[in-house]
Copies of this chain bind each other. A is one copy, B any other.
Amino acid sequence: MLVESEGTIAGIRRCVSGIRAEGGAVGLVPTMGALHEGHLSLVRAARQRGDEVVVSIFVNPAQFGPGEDFERYPRSLEADLELCRRNDVFAIFTPDVREMYPVASLTRIHVAGLTEGLCGAHRPGHFDGVALVVGKLFNIVQPDRAYFGQKDAQQAAVVKRMVADLNWPIEIVVCPTVREADGLAMSSRNRYLSPQEREQAAVIYRALLRARQMFAAGEREAQAITAAVAQIIRDSGPWTIDYVAAVDPDSMRPMTQVSSPALVAAAVRIGHTRLIDNLIL
């Protein structure tokens, strides 16, 4: 029962009005396409809540830095549409860059504090770009709920804080990370990996599990835990570790002594592919 994909803001607003006119609630799943089981788990979570689901597919240039992978980011619109059809998505919003940014945005949304560490430190401006496009999508679709993956934990924290600070009448639902059989977190960027890298990339999750094990065994020194995680990754290949950190899951503030709940997060470059993952302790 998929309403056909809508490339225009006016079009998706008409779709949403249709849902509302029939008394339905709207769940937004914002994506950059190249859909995988992680995205589909968000769709299913929204359906289970009773929402009619709008999936947005937009590779947002504002959240990519110079030299990052905006140009080569995987695009697979036909396959994405088919996955949406099979998963009972109501409407797909597929704007192009001109529809979203008819002129360059002079307006910037910045969430201080939460965006300075972790990925924010390694991708300057990234979270401003995320906040901008998410704010735009919220105002375009006006959903009742919006669904994000725990894999992008810092993004989820930034969006939650932005929604609270700006009083958007939208519930943010964060869904568990979906993993491959060997534990690798699902990501569109996994498509970049060579078969060998793909196999090796599972080390990130294995290393994070070590953090969980240490915490369960009573270790509370953040430094000891993150060093052990980093060592496991380093021992497995010539990878560049952007960070391994233990932070408060809401404020993203680094912890010295780890107390529950804590987020242990890592960003690692496997070859040319930057992957992130995390676990809650």
Contacts and interface: CB of A to CB of B under 8 A. Distances in A.
Interface in A13-51: 13
Contacts of A131: 107
A179 B139 CA distance: 36
A3 interface: no
A11 B27 CA distance: 25
B109 A108 contact: yes
Contact of A167 (B139, B161, B165): B139
Contacts of A136: 165-167
Interface in A221-254: none
A165 to B, nearest CB: 4
A112 interface: yes
B166 A107 contact: yes
Contacts of A162: 107
Contacts of A107: 109-112, 131, 161-162, 165-166
A165 B110 contact: no
Interface string A95-106: 000000000011
A169 interface: yes
Contact of A108 (B106, B110, B168): B110
A9 B168 CA distance: 11
14 contacts: A105-B165, A105-B166, A106-B114, A107-B111, A107-B165, A107-B166, A108-B109, A108-B111, A108-B112, A109-B166, A136-B166, A139-B166, A139-B168, A142-B169
A91 B277 CA distance: 48
A140 interface: yes
Interface in A100-135: 105-114, 131-132, 135
Contact of A165 (B106, B113, B114): B106
A136 B169 CA distance: 10
A106 B140 CA distance: 23
A142 B142 CA distance: 10
Given A106-B161, A162-B107, A140 B167 contact: yes
A166 B109 CA distance: 10
Contacts of A13: 169
Interface string A146-175: 000000000000000110011111000000
A231 B13 CA distance: 52
Interface in A161-218: 161-162, 165-169
